[in-house]
Structure 1
Amino acid sequence: MNRRPVIETIQQALAGPLPGMKGQIKMAPQPRSDQVNRWEIPDNYREAGVLLLLYPHHQPNQLEPELHVVLTRRPDYPGTHGGQISLPGGRREGDESLLVTALREAQEEIGLDPAAVEVIGQLSPLYIPPSNFYIYPFIAYSSVRPAFQPDAKEVAELIEAPLHLLFNPAIQREEIWQFPNYGERRVPFFDVFGHRVWGATAMILSEFLTLLQPNGTAVGSDNLTVSA
Structure 2
Amino acid sequence: MTARPEGLPGWWEPLLTRVGSARTEDFTTITPPAGGGRPSAVLVLLGEDRPGEPDLLILQRAATMRNHAGQPAFPGGAADPGDRDPAATALREANEEVGLDPATATVLTTLPELYIPVSRFVVTPVLAWWHAPHPVHPRQPAEVAHVARLPVTELVDPENRMRVRHPSGWVSPAFQVRGMLVWGFTAGVISVLLDMAGWSRPWRPGPIMELPDPAPLPHGSVPVADASAAAASDEVVS
TM-score range, shorter chain: 0.7 to 0.9
8 A contact 1:172–1:191 mirrored in 2: yes
Residue number in structure 2 paired with 1:18: 22
1:78 & 1:168 partners in 2: Cα distance? 32
Q: 1:195-210 counterparts in 2 under 5 A?
A: 195-210=180-195
Correspondence 1:41-60 to 2 at 5 A: 41=33, 43=35, 45-57=37-49
Identify if the C-alpha distance between structure 1 residues 136 and 44 changes in structure 2 by more than 3 Å, giving closer, same or farther. closer
Change (3 A) 1:42 1:192: farther
SS of corresponding position for 2:8: helix
Q: Does 1:137 align with 2:125?
A: yes
Provide the aligned C-alpha RMSD in A.
2.8
Which residue of the other structure, out of 172, 175, 178, is the alignment partner of 1:190? 175
Given that 2:36 and 2:122 are in contact with CA atoms closer than 8 Å, whether structure 1 keeps it comes out as: no
Partner of 1:156: 145
Share of identical aligned residues, percent?
Answer: 30
Deviation at 1:156, TM superposition (A): 0.4
CA gap of 1:56–1:121, structure 2 versus 1, over 3 A, is: same
Query: Which one has more relative contact order, counting CA pairs under 8 Å at least 6 apart?
Result: 1
Counterpart code for 1:170: E
Matched, 1:168 2:157: yes
1:40 to 1:108, Cα distance in 2 relative to 1, 3 A: closer
For residue 91 of structure 2, the aligned residue among 97, 100, 103 is: 103
Closer, same or farther: CA 129–172 of 1 in aligned 2, 3 Å: farther
Q: Which runs of 5+ in 1 are unaligned?
A: 26-35, 59-63, 214-219, 223-228
Q: Give the Cα separation in 2 of the matches to 1:176 and 1:103.
A: 32
Does the CA-based 8 Å contact 2:174-2:181 persist in structure 1? Answer: yes
Which of the two has greater helix per residue?
A: 1
1:85 corresponding residue in structure 2: 72
Query: Distance in 2 between the 1:40 and 1:20 partners?
Result: 9
**Alpha-carbon displacement from aligned partner over 1:33-71 (angstroms, at most 9, x marks no partner):** xxx46x78484721211111111126xxxxx67211110
Tell me what 2:217 maps to.
none
Structure 2 contact 111–126 (Cα < 8 Å) conserved: yes
Cα shift at 1:111: 0.8
User: C-alpha displacement at 1:87, in angstroms?
Assistant: 0.4
Q: Name the CA shift for 1:14/1:89 in 2 (closer, same or farther; >3 Å).
A: farther
1:190 CA displacement: 1.4
CA distance 1:168–1:19, shift in 2 (3 Å): farther
Q: What TM-score results when the alignment is normalised by the length of structure 2?
A: 0.70
SS at match of 2:185: helix
**Contact residue 75 and residue 82 of structure 1 kept, 8 A:** yes
Please give the alpha-carbon distance, in whole angstroms, between the structure 1 residues aligned to 2:34 and 2:182.
Answer: 27
**1:85 Cα deviation from its structure 2 partner:** 0.8
| Pair 1:16–1:83, CA change in 2 (3 A) | same
TM-score, normalised via structure 1 length = 0.73
- Asked if 2 retains the 8 angstrom alpha-carbon contact of 1:174 and 1:186, the reply is yes
Structure 2 stretches of 5 or more lacking a match? 1-6, 202-238
1:225 aligned residue: none
Letter in 1 for 2:40: A
